Amino acid sequence: MDVLVFKTNVKSKNALRNIQLQLSQIPDILKWNLDLADCDKVLRIETISLSAQKIIDILHTLGFQCEEL
């Protein structure tokens, strides 16, 4: 299992819901959370086999900035 950590520009609960809809459809994600209170809007993902680039691509497709920390 890997833990991937990202800095994002997600700012609202509504945006968080959009991300949740996408991430909940990916079976290789065991657990995830996004801290809207943190200045870097940190996204943490526990995954079996996904790469950081795959997560970055998903968030970019949804219109968000995302970079691995």
Q: Which pTM does this prediction carry?
A: 0.92
In angstroms, the CA 32 to CA 66 distance is 15
- 10-57 pLDDT tens trace: 999 999 999 999 999 999 999 999 999 999 999 999 999 999 999 999
Burial label for 46, CB within 10 Å (0-12, 13-18, 19+), is middle
**Which pLDDT does position 19 carry in this prediction?**
95
In angstroms, the CA 26 to CA 48 distance is 11
**Which pLDDT does position 1 carry in this prediction?**
87
Give 68's pLDDT tier (boundaries 50, 70, 90).
very high
Residue 3: pLDDT over 90: yes
